[in-house]
């Protein structure tokens, strides 16, 4: 993977959004019956998980 792609991955992960392509690949490989979310749906789901679960602590 190139440096730029790594940096993008890092920036997205900093705000709690994992790699979308990787998730799609995982779904295709392990859960072929599950419908694949669009990137928009994927990001929406990540936002919900990060802020609504009450698990993500904020640091001082």
Partner 1 sequence: MGGTIGRIFWVLLAALGALALGTVALHQGESINALWLLTAAVCVYLIGYRFYAQFVAVRVLAIDPSRLTPAVRRDDGLDFVPTHGGVLFGHHFAAIAGAGPLIGPVLAAQMGYLPGTLWILVGAVLGGCVQDMIVLFLSTRRGARSLGDMVRLELGSGVGLLAQIGILAIMVILLAVLGLVVVKALAHSPWGTFTVAATIPIALLMGIYMRVIRPGRIGEGTVIGLVLLIASIVWGERVAADPHWGKVFTLEGTTLAWSLIIYGFAASVLPVWLLLAPRDYLSTFLKIGTVLLLAVGIVVTQPSLKMPAVTQFIDGTGPVFAGSLFPFLFITIACGAISGFHALISSGTTPKMLATEAHIPGIGYGSMLCESFVAVMALIAACALEPGLYFAMNSPAALIGTTPESAAAVISSWGFQITPEMLTQTAANVGESTVLSRTGGAPTLAVAMAQVFSGLLGGQAMMAFWYHFAILFEALFILTTLDAGTRVGRFMIQDLMGRAAPQLGHTGSWIGNLLATSLCVGGWGWFLYQGVRDPLGGINSLWPLFGIANQMLAAMALVLVSVVLIKMKRERYVWVGLLPLSWLLVCTLTAGWEKLFHADVRIGFLSHADKFSAAIERGEVIAPAQSLAQMQQIVLNDYVNASLCAFFMSLLVAVAVLGLRAGIKAWRTEQVTAQEDAWA
Enumerate long-range contacts of 33-40, CB under 8 Å, 24 or more apart: none
CB of 12 to partner 1, least distance (A): 6
Say if residues 39 and 20 touch (Cβ distance below 8 Å).
yes
Considering only 2, 4, 32, 59, the residue that binds partner 1 (CB under 8 A) is: 59
Spatial CB neighbours of 58, under 8 Å, sequence gap ≥ 6 = none
Among positions 21-40, residues that touch partner 1 (CB under 8 A) are: 22-23, 25-27, 30, 38-40
Task: Summarize as ranges the residues that interact with partner 1 (CB under 8 A).
Answer: 1, 6, 8-20, 22-23, 25-27, 30, 38-44, 47-60
């Amino acid at each position: 993977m190139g440096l730029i792609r790594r940096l993008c991955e890092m920036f997205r992960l900093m705000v709690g959004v994992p790699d979308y392509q990787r998730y799609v690949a995982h779904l295709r490989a392990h859960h072929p019956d599950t419908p694949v979310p669009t990137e928009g749906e994927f990001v929406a789901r990540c936002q919900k998980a990060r802020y609504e679960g009450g698990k993500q602590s904020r640091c001082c």
